[in-house]
Structure 1
Amino acid sequence: MFIATRAPSLKTVLLASGVVLTLAMGVRHGFGFWLQPISQANGWTRETYSLAMAMQNLLWGVFGPFAGMAADRFGTMRVVLVGAVSYMAGLIWMALVTNPTLFVMGSGVFVGLGLACTAFGAVSGIIGRVAPMEKRSWAFGVSGACSSFGQFLMMPVEQQLISAIGWQHAFYLLAGLVVVAMVPMSFFLREPAVEHGHGPQQSIGEAMSEALGNRSFLLLVAGYFVCGFQLVFIGVHMPAYLRDKGLANPNVAVMALALIGLFNIVGSYYAGKLGGRMPKRYLLSGIYLSRSIVITLFLLAPLSPASVYVFAAAIGFLWLSTVPLTNGIIAGVFGVKHMAMLAGMVFFSHQLGSFIGVWLGGYLFTKLGSYDAVWGIAIGLGLMAALANLPINEKPLVRGELKPA
């Protein structure tokens, strides 16, 4: 059960979880900068490092539902503490291990668990429980904006650290920063003990069975797979793609990823705000359709720093704007008692897509010598996700005496 305490205010939760998300997502989004230095230092092809990133994303998704269950049952604070330590261990592992198999598996387990316990799924439950229903979508948007701010903040920091102190020492410094910042913030995420109401109570198994038997939930799962495929492929392979195309100045990639983070602050915030006023399914469909259009225009336009920056700003506005809308639908349809677990289940699909997207990028580049095929797949999947989200039913489920929050 949770530690007995008074419920934190929404402001406290958003500030503390915002710091955690800023670091968790900010550090993770910069991993693409290590692709070439680590591969060159260890004599690997891009496929090895891509597989490690894919494994991190896959295990992040595998651990996600369990981290959510733990957060719902034992409280967010404890889960974030575990995540901070595991994240630190993963960064140190990536700095030290040179065996390809151990690098892939170890970094996958440690960083995957760390992200599962410190990113959206783990903190969504406490946000949903603390925020009033009318502010819930907005609160999810604020948390999404914080993670985007982390990307904007950390991209130049990570690139500069690699250039100034080397890629290994950059990992060490980030590992220390994760623990020093996340551990104190976790104590502001304590939750009061669960108060069981009268009448029937829905168990974890019943909640899972109900969600998996719900058509709208499965459509969210399908859409989130596409989201993960697109985002992680772009985030990890963009720096290498630009170099391959002749934009050798690393500052172009740094600026592009920073712009993605900057514009996603706006996109995530307003997606959450609009989600409180408009059908979230239509907003989700529009986001996926817009991504496919933006990617297509980027590939058709002459490549230059200016076109890269325009693409980064446009795709950044759409980057994580799916998160507050998806979590808002989950909370609205199923309630908030098992919110973190259900968000983790949906996010597993996101991370399965991430695994395939980042690994396929490295694999097809090794086989074909370009990323063209993966760009085409990303466009096609975006169109499919746009169609899949349209029939989602956002009405709260009626369970007799079990009523959604």
Structure 2
Amino acid sequence: MSTANSKRFVPAFNTTTLVILAGALILSAAMGIRQTFGLFIGPFSFDRGLPVTQIAFAIALHNLVWGFAQPFAGAAADRYGSAPVVAFGATTFAAGLGIAAVAPNSALLIVGMGLLVGIGVSCTTFGVVLPAIGRIVTPEKRSMAMGLVSAGGSAGQVLMIPLVQGIRLNSGVATSLFVLAFVMLLIAPLGIVLDRRARGGSSLPDAPAAPLREVLTLATRHRGYRLLTLGFFTCGFQLAFIATHLPEYLSLCHMPVGLGATALALIGLFNMAGSWACGWLGGRFRQHYVLGWLYLIRSVTIGAFFVLPKSAASVVIFAAVMGLTWLGTVPLTSGLVAKVFGTRHLGSLFGICFLSHQIGSFLGAWLGGLVFDLTGSYALLWEATVVAGLIAAMLHFPIDDKTVNMPALLPQPTRA
């Protein structure tokens, strides 16, 4: 009997591990590539004569398109599986990077880096990958598994930023973008792995499915879901502003050339530990409390960095602390949605919540460029990120995380 049980356990463990690894690789490529966009602001401006505002708008637009496309990508993955969604997204992402590589004007840059990249990234990141992970692990291990995938995905930021910086300096902007497009094409088949189901008892059968329209209605009426969605706006606002404008801000502060790229790479490196730690904490403490403290720590860190004198050491410390709190919000937020509403419609529900995040991302990236062009300073945006973080912390602490009985929405079967 024990031998039979062992034989059933091994494939389950191997399948779960394989799905986690595939999810981490997909996130690593997609998230790592988009985190390099801040390195192109200066070259696009100086080499192609494009205004900083329009470059920032193209980068910001991909965040907004990502947000609006995410509920549809998540719903498609819920219904048809991850394989076609990831393949379509990776190909579209690569096409957008290719257009940006040769774009001679702002219009094509906006189409490539804004529209197509936004659609592509919605199909290859959290809203598609994390629900697949959430369905294959047990509820008590879900937060930890999502944190592990998010941590593995951070490796892309660590690897891509120095890679892009080196290629761009030696071979130019176009070559570096074509290399990134090739990387996206390589991960296109990995969605097939996400659709695998563990055997031997590890796979979680889907709960009876309430109609999506009724699920969405219930979610939008849920006070905790509304607070979570509003708070997620701040995460996008803070991260997009820093990822897009930190290199240029450090240049204005007369910091050494290349320190901006180093800072972004350090954020990715420390995010690996931070995402794992947040997933671990989310499995042991109430997730909305962890989120509240996360936003508080971010706000204090951003405020201190802005007002204190700048040095290489202060930049490294700032990058390390921000990295520890960078994407830890994602496994916590998706895990909280799964805890309250279950995993059957997790792609759709998290996608709607993520739309708020991406509206914040759009404003953080775009307003950074707009305010800089108007005032010659990023000061107003640094202050706004601090205030937004404090508000987000206050929104998360009172969230009600009790599980909603989704099957109760199903119509009762008729009897003959």
> Is this a same-fold pair by TM over 0.5?
yes
Match of 2:142 in 1: 136
| Residue 242 of structure 2 corresponds to residue 234 of structure 1 | yes
**CA apart distance, 1:196:** 7.6
| C-alpha distance in 1 between matches for 2:347 and 2:406 | 20
Task: Please tell me whether the aligned partners of residues 50 and 359 of structure 1 are also in contact (alpha carbons under 8 angstroms).
Answer: yes
Counterpart residue type for residue 19 of structure 2: V
Task: Please tell me whether the aligned partners of residues 264 and 319 of structure 1 are also in contact (alpha carbons under 8 angstroms).
Answer: yes
**CA apart distance, 1:103:** 1.9
| C-alpha distance in 2 between matches for 1:185 and 1:310 | 35
Match of 1:301 in 2: 308
Match of 1:348 in 2: 355
Corresponding pairs, count: 394
Gaps of 5+ in 1: 1-5
Secondary structure of the 1:185 match is helix
Over 3 Å counting, the alpha-carbon distance change for 1:363 and 1:351 in structure 2 is same
Over 3 Å counting, the alpha-carbon distance change for 1:332 and 1:175 in structure 2 is same
How does 1:10-159 map onto structure 2 within 5 Å?
A: 10-159=16-165
Match of 1:327 in 2: 334
**CA apart distance, 1:277:** 0.7
Over 3 Å counting, the alpha-carbon distance change for 1:281 and 1:33 in structure 2 is same
**CA apart distance, 1:40:** 1.5
Task: Please tell me whether the aligned partners of residues 76 and 122 of structure 1 are also in contact (alpha carbons under 8 angstroms).
Answer: yes
| C-alpha distance in 2 between matches for 1:205 and 1:331 | 17
Higher radius of gyration, 1 or 2: 2
Gaps of 5+ in 2: 1-10, 198-203, 411-416
What TM-score results when the alignment is normalised by the length of structure 2? 0.91
- Aligned-residue CA RMSD (Å): 1.9
Counterpart residue type for residue 65 of structure 1: P
Task: Please tell me whether the aligned partners of residues 264 and 317 of structure 1 are also in contact (alpha carbons under 8 angstroms).
Answer: yes
Over 3 Å counting, the alpha-carbon distance change for 1:197 and 1:114 in structure 2 is closer
Match of 1:219 in 2: 227
| Cα deviation 1:343-401 (Å, max 9, x = unaligned) | 11111100000000100000000000000000000000000000000111111012464
Match of 1:186 in 2: 191
Secondary structure of the 1:202 match is coil
Secondary structure of the 2:229 match is helix
Task: Please tell me whether the aligned partners of residues 59 and 109 of structure 1 are also in contact (alpha carbons under 8 angstroms).
Answer: yes
| C-alpha distance in 1 between matches for 2:206 and 2:134 | 17
Sequence identity percentage:
41
Task: Please tell me whether the aligned partners of residues 91 and 175 of structure 1 are also in contact (alpha carbons under 8 angstroms).
Answer: yes
What TM-score results when the alignment is normalised by the length of structure 1? 0.94
Counterpart residue type for residue 288 of structure 2: R
Q: Which deviates further from its counterpart, 92-101 or 281-290? A: 92-101
| Cα deviation 1:98-125 (Å, max 9, x = unaligned) | 2212321343221001100000011122
Over 3 Å counting, the alpha-carbon distance change for 1:195 and 1:301 in structure 2 is closer
| Cα deviation 1:42-81 (Å, max 9, x = unaligned) | 2122101100011000000010000000000000111100
Task: Please tell me whether the aligned partners of residues 70 and 355 of structure 2 are also in contact (alpha carbons under 8 angstroms).
Answer: yes
Equivalent position to 1:398, from 380, 397, 405? 405
| C-alpha distance in 1 between matches for 2:205 and 2:293 | 39
Match of 1:310 in 2: 317
| Residue 364 of structure 2 corresponds to residue 360 of structure 1 | no
Task: Please tell me whether the aligned partners of residues 97 and 112 of structure 2 are also in contact (alpha carbons under 8 angstroms).
Answer: no
Task: Please tell me whether the aligned partners of residues 206 and 343 of structure 2 are also in contact (alpha carbons under 8 angstroms).
Answer: no
Task: Please tell me whether the aligned partners of residues 214 and 409 of structure 2 are also in contact (alpha carbons under 8 angstroms).
Answer: no
**CA apart distance, 1:9:** 2.4
Over 3 Å counting, the alpha-carbon distance change for 1:94 and 1:279 in structure 2 is same
| C-alpha distance in 1 between matches for 2:372 and 2:114 | 22
Secondary structure of the 1:118 match is coil
Over 3 Å counting, the alpha-carbon distance change for 1:98 and 1:377 in structure 2 is same
| Cα deviation 1:10-49 (Å, max 9, x = unaligned) | 2111001111100000011011001110111221221011
Counterpart residue type for residue 184 of structure 1: P
Task: Please tell me whether the aligned partners of residues 124 and 343 of structure 1 are also in contact (alpha carbons under 8 angstroms).
Answer: no
